[in-house]
Structure 1
Amino acid sequence: MSAQFKLLTDRLILRPLISADVSSIQAAASVRQIADTMISIPHPYPDGEAERYIARQKAEFEAGHSVTFVMEQRFEKKFNGIIEIRDIEREHSQAELSFWLAVEAWGQGYMSEALKPVLRFGFEELELNRLYAYHMIRNPSSGQVLRKNGLVYEGMLRQRVRKWGMFEDVALWAILRNDWCVPGVQQLDGAVL
């Protein structure tokens, strides 16, 4: 892939990761509530992990395996979280959606607002056929956001992950290009810059 796009919504700029994001990621990901419902975020969040994350995501982007967006409030320039299209499989034309919001941004509709242009980006720019997402069953808010944005519940993966020493059930959701572009149903706004 060449340079990464920026996506724009009414309240958000979805932009590439930059080195200056280290402190925002470190601070937001260090909050226990974030790690509690995220499959891959450790707690305590280790010093230096944000730098390693940014370096890893940039390498994944260069290899064509992942696209990571920082969700930033458009006017306040405040860090809200991360949304990724990752594990891009060209052979099967699919990828995983992964996202998290800083605790202070919860319950304000930011994730749903961000998902709309990211879905469009996945289907139109990356030319994918299928986008899927996971969430722990005990985090129904993620499922509500996915459902609201057209993803379909495909099933439960029993005891799929171990978090805090306990095995957790995980829900699997997906949306197909055909589901997303049904005439008269698509309500996905968000400009590509």
Structure 2
Amino acid sequence: MSAQFKLLTDRLILRPLTRTDVSSIQAAASVRQIADTMISIPHPYPDGESERYIARQTADFEAGHSVTFVIEQRFKNTFNGIIEVRDIEREHSQAELSFWLAVESWGQGYMSEALKPVLRFGFEQLELNRLYAYHMVRNPSSGQVLRKNGLVYEGMLRQRVRKWEMFEDVALWAILRNDWCVAVAQKPELAVG
């Protein structure tokens, strides 16, 4: 994959992950509320995990398997979270969306705003046909963000993951390129933040 570029919205900049993000990721991901609803974030967040995460994401990007964006406030350069297009499958032209926000950024509409240009990026730059996302059923806020951005609820995967020694039901959402094109034609604001 060639060099990653930045995506802009009115309030946010979505930029490539760099080694300078180590301390911001470590601090934000160490908050228990983040790990509570994220399938892949452990708690306590181990020392050095942010360095390992950045190294993995960089290698996956270089191999063409994922693209990770740091969500930052555009005029403050404040770390807000992460959004990924990951597990890119060229054969089936699909990928998974994964995202999280630092606790202090919750409830301000940042994730919905960030998702719009990422969907556009996935369909136009990566030329994917399908983007999908999972969230724990007990985290309905993620489902609301996905629905607001045109993803369709496809079903529930019963006891799909184990978190805090409890099996959790997981919701599956997806959007197809054709559905996104129709939605953007009807509501152009869906294509930009």
Shorter-chain TM-score tier = over 0.9
Q: CA deviation at 1:12?
A: 0.5
> Separation in 1 of the partners of 2:89 and 2:189?
26
Q: CA deviation at 1:139?
A: 0.1
SS of equivalent to 1:4: coil
Aligned to 2:123: 123
SS of equivalent to 2:189: coil
SS of equivalent to 1:188: helix
> Separation in 1 of the partners of 2:179 and 2:189?
12
2:88 partner amino acid = I
SS of equivalent to 1:181: helix
Residue 52 (structure 1) aligned with residue 73 (structure 2): no
Q: Does the 8 A contact of 1:80 with 1:102 survive in 2?
A: yes
SS of equivalent to 1:61: helix
Aligned to 1:158: 158
Q: Does the 8 A contact of 1:66 with 1:86 survive in 2?
A: yes
Aligned to 1:107: 107
Q: CA deviation at 1:188?
A: 2.5
2:108 partner amino acid = Q
1:184 partner amino acid = Q
> Separation in 1 of the partners of 2:147 and 2:24?
29
> Separation in 1 of the partners of 2:117 and 2:99?
14
Aligned to 1:14: 14
Q: CA deviation at 1:47?
A: 0.3
Alignment TM-score, normalising by the size of structure 2: 0.97
Aligned to 1:184: 186
Aligned to 1:134: 134
Q: Point out where structure 1 has 5 or more consecutive residues left out of the alignment.
A: none
Count of aligned positions: 191
Indicate the larger mover: 129-138 or 180-189.
Answer: 180-189
> Separation in 2 of the partners of 1:131 and 1:186?
19
Q: Percent identity?
A: 88
Q: Deviations over 1:36-87 (max 9, x none)?
A: 0000000000000000000000000000000000000001100000000000
SS of equivalent to 1:174: strand
SS of equivalent to 2:134: strand
Q: CA deviation at 1:156?
A: 0.1
Q: Which has the higher helix share?
A: 2
Q: Deviations over 1:126-162 (max 9, x none)?
A: 0000000000000000000000000000000000000
> Separation in 2 of the partners of 1:188 and 1:77?
24
Q: Does the 8 A contact of 1:9 with 1:189 survive in 2?
A: no
Q: CA deviation at 1:186?
A: 4.2
Q: Point out where structure 2 has 5 or more consecutive residues left out of the alignment.
A: none
Q: Does the 8 A contact of 1:180 with 1:186 survive in 2?
A: no
2:30 partner amino acid = S
Indicate the larger mover: 176-185 or 99-108.
Answer: 176-185
Q: Does the 8 A contact of 1:83 with 1:98 survive in 2?
A: yes
Q: CA deviation at 1:184?
A: 2.0
